[in-house]
Amino acid sequence: MNLNILHETAVAMVAPGKGLLAADESTGTIKKRFDKIGVENTEANRQIYRDLLFTTAGFEQHTSGVILYEETLFQKSLAGQPFPQLLASKGVIPGIKVDEGAKPLPAGGPDETVTEGLDGLRERLQKYKAAGARFAKWRAVISIGAHTPTHTAIHVNAHALARYAALCQEAGIVPIVEPEVLMDADNTVETCERVTEWILSAVFEELFVQRVALEGMILKPNMVVSGIKCPVQAGVAEVAERTIKVLKRHVPAAVPGIAFLSGGQSDLLATAHLDAMNKIGGVPWKLTFSYGRALQAAAQKAWSGKNVDAGRKAHLHRSKMNGLAALGQWSEALEKAA
């Protein structure tokens, strides 16, 4: 492990005004997105769509890196250039999702899962690095319910995240550590805050035990928000304040940056929350985005399998808006002007 190289890559991933495009949807997940816009889920259409994203002129001004799915890592652009080479030529760092999905946890509570994919990961990381990947991502999913999360779910997911991170650093790849507290229940913002503190505390304890160098990783957490079914929704200012409070309590200053997931938030709300946090400021890490749907939904709808130019315009706009939010310079007036 060369910690200097890992640290340099991690810092570049959270460069001022830039964030990560999460284009790592599995074949099954992207089918759901394509179904909504009437596009058949074929490998060719997935290639066309991701080519649209990666060839958008100017998106690299607001995008430090792209998280790829394994299929995409080994695909070529429509012009015949391997996608990792295309991204690198624009100064965008290629990354790769390496987990194999969340599976039911036999010893946990209802709807609890553990993310699998550690078996054979050491060998797969070497293959991914040879293909051009410089960072990786592993997502752990924590659900909130009447009797969840359980200690079992918190422990096994924190342990797996740390094992993955250690293997990445051994391979010279920066790990994105993603513990996601889901927002799809009816819980209050206070409950989300408590559970987020719990999982972050457990994750950093495991990272310490497994000797993960914090300077060579990126954290990708959820924001502290109300469950989507909760009748009382926390406002933008409250979400920003609570999220920063939790992070200050549980994330060491050695971590170079925090790239938030959007977790099902609307495009504008995800941007507004990030902007509000950066306007508060006073934190030791860079705060930026690692959005999937919140960056892509508008582009997918505008494209709909036919209009490439419209898709690129929508992609560039959302990239620019989130780039401004990462600087604390976004306003809703900019959306209206566009």
pLDDT surpasses 90 at 337: no
Return d(Cα 31, Cα 34) in angstroms, integer.
5
Kindly report which listed range (105-109, 136-140, 146-150) carries the lowest average pLDDT score: 105-109
φ/ψ of 154, rounded to 5, equals -60, -45
Residue 109 predicted with pLDDT over 90: no
Would you say residue 107 has pLDDT above 90? Answer: no
Instruction: Tell whether the model's pLDDT for residue 1 goes beyond 90.
Output: no
Residue ranges in the chain assigned as alpha helix (H): 3-13, 27-37, 43-54, 70-73, 83-89, 121-130, 151-170, 189-209, 236-250, 267-280, 293-303, 308-325, 332-337
Confidence bin at 235 (pLDDT 50/70/90): very high
Judge whether residue 246 has pLDDT over 90: yes
Instruction: Say yes or no to pLDDT of 338 above 80.
Output: no
- For 66-80, write each residue's pLDDT tens digit: 999 999 999 999 999
Q: What is the pLDDT of residue 257?
A: 98
pLDDT in tens, 170-206: 999 999 999 999 999 999 999 999 999 999 999 999 9
CB contact at 8 A, 259 and 218: yes
Q: What is the mean pLDDT of residues 138-162?
A: 97
Which CATH number describes the domain made up of 3-337? Answer: 3.20.20.70
Active site residue 279: no
> How far is the C-alpha of 217 from the C-alpha of 42, rounded, in Å?
34
What is the chain's mean pLDDT, rounded?
A: 97
Structure confidence by residue, pLDDT tens digits, 252-278: 999 999 999 999 999 999 999 999 999
Rounded (to 5) percent helix, strand, coil in the chain? 50, 15, 35
| pTM greater than 0.85 (yes/no) | yes
Q: Which of 112, 178, 180, 206 is catalytic?
A: 178
pLDDT tens readout for residues 24-51: 999 999 999 999 999 999 999 999 999 9
220 is catalytic: yes
Of 18, 137, 220, 320, catalytic: 220
DSSP assigned state of 254: T
